[in-house]
Structure 1
């Protein structure tokens, strides 16, 4: 009798899991509460996989042997509660796919910087000649690649939601870039629960595995002081000198791993900003552990191009620099963006608030921001927080108005920064849509 695999969510991770499940001999059924995109419907149809969208038929879901839940679906959803009540195992795509591959995985998580670090790590390892895939929260789903591609190793960007659904999965190398309050609406507004979710990345690691982490991050060091992991610890820091790990020595980045030293001038790293130096340290530490040549690491850190929608310079118009940081969906990401601004800044902010506390941005806004443009349906919290700090505050409800207003407020030598600190779902499909609309509006000025 075939085991029944039910997949909740017909997006990238759901459809990838369906393809792998069918290949591995499961009786597969995909169910999506919302509409499934036409492209994915076609893929399911071609592969003769049964599916439904626009709602869940309970008896077709609750007869599962195992359920893969897409990361966007909260545990609080009715159908998930019913599955838990029936004691049916609910796992993530990462957990499911990992059982069908012998590939080595590098898992990267964190509140910010994980996409950049994942892409940079992949860039370094690929340049070093490894047959390596990239997946997780980014690009083609991990399960889909396990079904169709034959990589020896993978770099996976892992969100806390994906880690919530793991049971046995353990990456050979885990990276935690940083932890700051985010998605607290999914964790009963308890920061400790969110921190614990991030650390699930190391829960199954063995003595032969590694955990690379930010030693300057209070939430991370606090957790490590109170909890145990079997993995070998490789810290990185901008403030401490470390015996093992990566650190800053004046204007040089130094990495000591396995009693081998790697030194590189920080000026030569292509990505700008302190936070990107940390991302570079994390990625280079992975490359050292994977035995990539020093020369390749150095060259790859020099020529990496960065990530779309993350501090992406769009255009300079009348000596005003327009910067797209749409991927900044929480306060901490926006903190890094404002921290890296060197010119007076017109800041476009707002969207769906995930329990934000704007307190930590106050000194930066005071020092760097000359005007704020609120782009959201409910801007009260932003107005209350910054109303007395900046001279000019404007509310708009679409990207064209936001960019045109910014152009009027900016003078020669200023920067216009889209760094929303919020999710995008009130006015846009997702942060990519928001970033693309920003770039289009800038190009149309």
Structure 2
């Protein structure tokens, strides 16, 4: 291998994107993955003559690298990562690598335990409707480095804590902190470490940059006092208080108030199809960003009034004989389940489970007692779940089979019930990701629908 080698660890979306950008810039690169690289990604690497390996790492080659670009899915506690650190080889994120090759593009970064995808999608659609040359990337499933090759004027990025972990200097013109809840505590030592990771989106900023944050979130308010924020422009949003500056709800309307100015009324929230407090937070953050960028109000309204429900997020699948099936597979932590349960009024049969991430389920006990009539745990290790809820709910079932979970739920239901698939854990015990999990749930619901209604076809 030539000198000045850059090793890209991980042959997924972010790794392949980084490899394509590096190739375009004439850099000497090598992609290494401990698992099997997807066929479509291998094809891209081969077509672009990018050397790679899979099913293991050649350590002797990696330890000669000038720099390592790490997939966010690889933990900092990984043994190979620890060895790379011992060799003093710099490790950077794909986000930071991509930004190196941007000139004057405007960056909007959005993070939070929940709501990242929805908020990122809303902002992107508003800016696109306004006719701006905008790209969308990050944790939403598109490599930022790959999008950098398209040279957009503005980028809207969904950013996870795992991506932020490897960011040393990454900064955005506008950063958004939606919320911080107990999450990923199987990877972080404690909530403080997780909070610091999220706050890296706010720490690396210039004075003229803007931070938008959730005023109602106690962990964020505490973090604002604890960490040194680079920006002089910190703008809050709230659904509980009328703010002196920022975005808030009053008389069911969205209002924004700038410093020293009268409040501006945007839209009645009851007209917006996205429902629930969690979505109101996402909408407030999106409206604030749009207002800062001087986007015409008509484009904001048009986007919000016709914004579709995102797949796998409180997605109504089918109503079978009066029983509503809802796919909320993207709910991988307790806070997401909290808002899902809160948004439903009819009795709920809750399908939960998955790989636990250090969740504290006590915060949803009240809602479960009040609204849930039965729980079905879908996963390989259900003991913690059962121990948490056995004194709260009398009807608890468990299975490792999603077909059985759907049918159990239907047997336990009566017309008027909701069957809510809102796992609260990650999908990796039984599925590749939350998308596969959600798709299989919907598939089994449709099968059930055709069985129950076959005589009508």
- TM-score, L = length of structure 2: 0.95
- 1:16 offset after TM fit, Å? 0.3
- 1:391 offset after TM fit, Å? 2.6
Contact persistence 1:257–1:288 (CA under 8 A): no
1:108 to 107, 110, 115: 110
Query: In 2, Cα distance between the equivalents of 1:283 and 1:306?
Result: 16
1:431 to 426, 431, 434: 434
Contact persistence 2:216–2:238 (CA under 8 A): yes
Query: In 2, Cα distance between the equivalents of 1:439 and 1:101?
Result: 40
RMSD between superposed Cα atoms in Å: 1.2
1:204-254: CA deviation from partner (whole Å, max 9, x where unpaired):
211211111100001000111223313211100011111211111121111
Q: Does 1:346 align with 2:349?
A: yes
1:393 to 393, 396, 408: 396
1:281 to 277, 280, 284: 284
Q: Does 1:308 align with 2:311?
A: yes
Query: In 1, Cα distance between the equivalents of 2:436 and 2:416?
Result: 28
Aligned to 2:99: 98
Aligned residue runs from structure 1 range 43-62, under 5 A:
43-62=44-63
Structure 1 consecutive aligned stretches of length 4 or more whose deviation exceeds 6 Å: none
Contact persistence 1:66–1:90 (CA under 8 A): yes
Query: In 2, Cα distance between the equivalents of 1:107 and 1:263?
Result: 23
Query: In 2, Cα distance between the equivalents of 1:170 and 1:225?
Result: 20
Aligned to 1:191: 191
Aligned to 1:77: 78
- 1:291 offset after TM fit, Å? 1.1
Secondary structure of the residue aligned to 2:365 is helix
Aligned to 2:221: 221
Query: In 1, Cα distance between the equivalents of 2:216 and 2:315?
Result: 26
Query: In 2, Cα distance between the equivalents of 1:395 and 1:7?
Result: 40
Q: Does 1:334 align with 2:327?
A: no
1:263-304: CA deviation from partner (whole Å, max 9, x where unpaired):
211111220101100100001111111111012111211111
2:120 to 114, 118, 121: 118
Secondary structure of the residue aligned to 1:242 is coil
Aligned to 1:18: 19
Contact persistence 1:257–1:289 (CA under 8 A): no
1:127 to 104, 117, 129: 129
Contact persistence 1:241–1:249 (CA under 8 A): yes
Contact persistence 2:203–2:227 (CA under 8 A): no
CA distance change for structure 1 residues 95 and 360 in 2, over 3 Å: closer, same or farther? Answer: same
- 1:2 offset after TM fit, Å? 5.9
Aligned to 1:65: 66
2:424 to 410, 421, 424: 421
Aligned residue runs from structure 1 range 154-173, under 5 A:
154-173=155-174
Aligned to 1:407: 410
Query: In 1, Cα distance between the equivalents of 2:10 and 2:129?
Result: 35
- 1:49 offset after TM fit, Å? 0.5
Query: In 2, Cα distance between the equivalents of 1:38 and 1:134?
Result: 24
Structure 2 gap ranges (5+)? 449-457
Secondary structure of the residue aligned to 2:186 is helix
Secondary structure of the residue aligned to 2:397 is strand
Aligned to 1:42: 43
Contact persistence 2:185–2:359 (CA under 8 A): no
- 1:150 offset after TM fit, Å? 2.5
Aligned to 2:381: 378
Aligned to 1:363: 366
Contact persistence 2:355–2:429 (CA under 8 A): yes
Query: In 2, Cα distance between the equivalents of 1:324 and 1:175?
Result: 27
My pick for the range that moved more, 320-329 or 138-147, is 138-147
Secondary structure of the residue aligned to 2:127 is helix
Q: Does 1:7 align with 2:8?
A: yes
Query: In 2, Cα distance between the equivalents of 1:47 and 1:97?
Result: 18
Query: In 1, Cα distance between the equivalents of 2:204 and 2:305?
Result: 34
CA distance change for structure 1 residues 408 and 257 in 2, over 3 Å: closer, same or farther? Answer: same
Contact persistence 1:174–1:210 (CA under 8 A): yes
